[in-house]
A and B are shown apart, each in its own frame.
Chain A
């Protein structure tokens, strides 16, 4: 089945230790998104790639970076995680077209910062 896969599902890191979260898709969608969702809050868009074009949200901290080496993969790098970065990180994809606008989400990676 076509899907969005996130690895790992659970990630524990230490304060200040860089961490990378992975997302892959078999949907061949143009757009890949990264959201941060803190406990009992709505998902918040960090950035997205439209093909190779990177689009950062204005209020996304510089501590968060992303890479998309090819259509299928997208990575979220947190350079120096703080306690406030503990959250669920959701990857999503979409075709990016008006006629098929829905986003398809992966299962998420729950990040714990010690």
Chain B
């Protein structure tokens, strides 16, 4: 069963505008974690932001914020004031509950293109 779903294969955004990348997840475990990673064309996966299932507030890291809606099982990434360097693949991932090593399941990704 698909644990992480990203329904947007590609997104375009104008430079300096905000963009939301969608992510929904599926788990019956009350304890889980959600991550967003950025993968530029060079291939390296860059950690952006983390949200724990028990966190009361939405996570924020600079221009990145996570819109966590627990009842809807969604964890959308919001990038404010987009920059040309934000053009990359973005992956949503979930920590598999119950594993001590924090194994991650990744979605299929969204390719973001920032237009000048």
A contact set with B: CB distance below 8 Å = 31, 33, 41-45, 48, 50, 55, 88, 90, 92, 94, 96, 98, 101-108, 110
Contacts and interface: CB of A to CB of B under 8 A. Distances in A.
B44 A108 contact: yes
Contacts of B52: 101
Interface residues of B, number: 22
B91 A96 contact: no
Contact of B102 (A44, A94, A106, A110): A94
Contacts of B50: 101-102
Contacts of B44: 105-108
A53 B42 CA distance: 31
Interface stretch (B19-27, B79-87, B105-113): B105-113
Contacts of A98: 102
B104 interface: yes
B58 interface: no
Interface of A is mostly: strand
A50 to B, nearest CB: 5
Given A90-B45, A101-B35, 6 more contacts: A42-B106, A94-B102, A101-B102, A102-B35, A103-B35, A103-B104
Contact of B103 (A42, A45, A105): A45
Q: Give the residue among A31, A88, A103, A107 with the most B Cβ atoms within 10 A.
A: A103
A78 B52 CA distance: 35
25 contacts: A31-B102, A33-B101, A41-B108, A42-B91, A42-B106, A42-B107, A42-B108, A43-B45, A48-B101, A50-B100, A90-B43, A90-B45, A92-B45, A94-B101, A96-B101, A98-B102, A101-B52, A102-B35, A103-B47, A103-B104, A105-B47, A106-B44, A107-B44, A108-B44, A110-B43
